[in-house]
Amino acid sequence: MQSQIETLSPVLVSVTVEVPWKKVEEDLEAAYRTMQRKARVRGFRPGKAPRDVIKNMMGKSIRSEVAAELVRQGLGHAVEEHKIDPVAYAEELTAPAINEGEALKFTAKIEVRPKIDKVDTDGILAERTVLKVDDAAVQAEIERMREQTAEMVAPEPARPAKAGDTLTVDLEVHIDGEPKPEMGGQDRRIELGNGRLLPDLEAGLTGVELGAHKDITLTFPADYGYEALRGKSATFHVTVKSLQEKVLPAIDDELAKDLGFDSLDAMRKSIRERLETTAKERGDSLVREQLVERLIDKNPVPVPPSMIDQETRASLEQYLRIQYMLGQQVPFTEEMHKEFRERAERKVRAGLLFGAIAKAENISVSDADFDAKLKELAERSGKHVAKVRAEHQGEQKRTLELQILEKKLLEYLASRATITDVAQSAAKAPEEAKK
């Protein structure tokens, strides 16, 4: 077989292959003989039908199968001969027809991984936010935990509803005068003051009393999240069946013991340590993200379109699966698809650059690396290391090896980068500290 290659772009080549007639003829003859042995033709004993009969009955399909196999072999030969790193066919490839006495010739366009001779890792800058966990941050976390242990009780004496109360109501909803049973229901729990209600509905429920019947009329905003309700007039028929207020426990040793600590001091110490660990992990994670983004910006290597398509589809499927699990339906727009594709391109480019760094710097995953990771997982899960090893075979093993390799590559990038620590009080960013 003879083959030629033409580079059309850093990620696209054109491969021309010519299979000599002698090879085509030999493969055709072999295919005919195989079919003769297997074919059952009326009027002939099994395997005894003449070649001409087989050719007349099945010649077209045999020639198509032989041509397809020769194309497969020819492309494999060309890939090996020219050391191509193929990704996908750039267009659908149809096997040419076999003509008597003629060589089989075909051309295919193949997407290839770009050749990355050198990855520039010099001069990468990153900032690590170092959160200082002060007393205010610890107190904020205690308040959050205190909220979770709060009791809901009927206020004594009875009073009108206010922010912080939880109402249990029977609810009927009419939209533009038409009943919408799916929007109403019995024994619906509504918390006031958490910012989740429409302002007009919140105002209408504030001040109601136990046993009250009230109609609240409002108009949905023009930018409301659910398009079908935008600008619609609605009437909420509300019957208040229960009114409860939140009673917070005192911050003392008893609260600490209820939450599993020996004392209030022990709880404060544990919370501080947890917030410090979480803050450090968050800071390190943000540094890793910066390192990858800076690496991509410094090395604008081309990316095969099919790899971007594949990553975009995978990301979209994951996104839609999560939306389904959450019971949400977010309209998918062209702008969202564009955003997903841009992210996918950067993710694929990062993978290509990491692969080039791993090859250039001889960074790999050793048996010792893998065993150490298994031991870490075993200690974290409380399982025996042999069980963890049994759980990480085949594809699971490959996934874990990729995670180990990625960590080693990020450590290499960090060793080459200039990372500046920026101090910040956790009290100013309590949500970040808890992430």
Are 264 and 252 within 8 A, CB to CB?
A: yes
Tell me the C-alpha distance between 310 and 307, whole Å. Answer: 5
List phi, psi (to 5°) of 358. Answer: -60, -40
Q: Looking at per-residue confidence, does 223 or 426 come out higher? A: 223
Task: Calculate ∠ Cα 9-15-17, nearest 5°.
Answer: 170
pLDDT in tens, 328-366: 666 677 888 899 999 999 999 999 999 999 999 999 999
As a whole number, mean pLDDT of residues 16-28 equals 91
pLDDT at 433: 38
**Residue 249 reports pLDDT greater than 90:** yes
How many residues belong to the chain? 435
Question: Is 80 exceeded by the pLDDT of residue 426?
Answer: no
The DSSP result for 313-347, as a single string, is HHHHHHHHHHHHHTT--PPP-HHHHHHHHHHHHHH
Query: 275, 426 in Cβ contact below 8 A?
Result: yes
Tell me the average pLDDT across 31-36.
77
Q: Return d(Cα 430, Cα 435) in angstroms, integer.
A: 9
Under 8 Å between Cβ of 205 and 192: yes
CA nearest neighbour of 171 among 159, 160, 183? 183
Alpha helices in 95-198 (DSSP H): 135-148
What is the pLDDT at residue 429? Answer: 47
What confidence tier does 295 reach under pLDDT thresholds 50, 70, 90?
very high
Tokens of 372: 């150490």
pLDDT, mean of residues 96-120:
91
Residue 91's pLDDT is what? 75
Q: What is the pLDDT of residue 347?
A: 93
| pLDDT at 258 exceeding the cut of 80 | yes
pLDDT of 214 higher than 90: yes
Q: For the residues 55-73, what does the mean pLDDT come to?
A: 84
Local confidence band at 271 (pLDDT 50, 70, 90 cut-offs): very high
**Can you say how many angstroms the Cα of residue 375 is from the centroid of all Cα atoms in its chain?**
27
Question: What is the pLDDT averaged over residues 84-93?
Answer: 83
pLDDT given at position 63? 84
The answer on pLDDT for 396 being more than 60 is: yes
Name all domains of the chain by residue range, CATH numbers in brackets: 2-112 (3.30.70.1050), 151-247 (3.10.50.40), 254-434 (1.10.3120.10)
Q: Measured in Å, how far apart are the chain's first and last C-alpha atoms?
A: 60
Task: Tell me the average pLDDT of the chain.
Answer: 88
Percentages helix, strand, coil for the chain, rounded to the nearest 5?
50, 20, 30
The confidence band for 34, taking pLDDT boundaries of 50, 70 and 90, is confident
Quick check: 276 pLDDT over 70?
A: yes
CA angle 200, 206, 207 (to 5 degrees): 135
**Res 434: pLDDT:** 40
Over 80: is that where the pLDDT of 54 sits?
Answer: no
For residue 387, the model assigns a pLDDT of 93
How far out from the chain centre does Cα 67 lie? 41
pLDDT score of 242 more than 70: yes
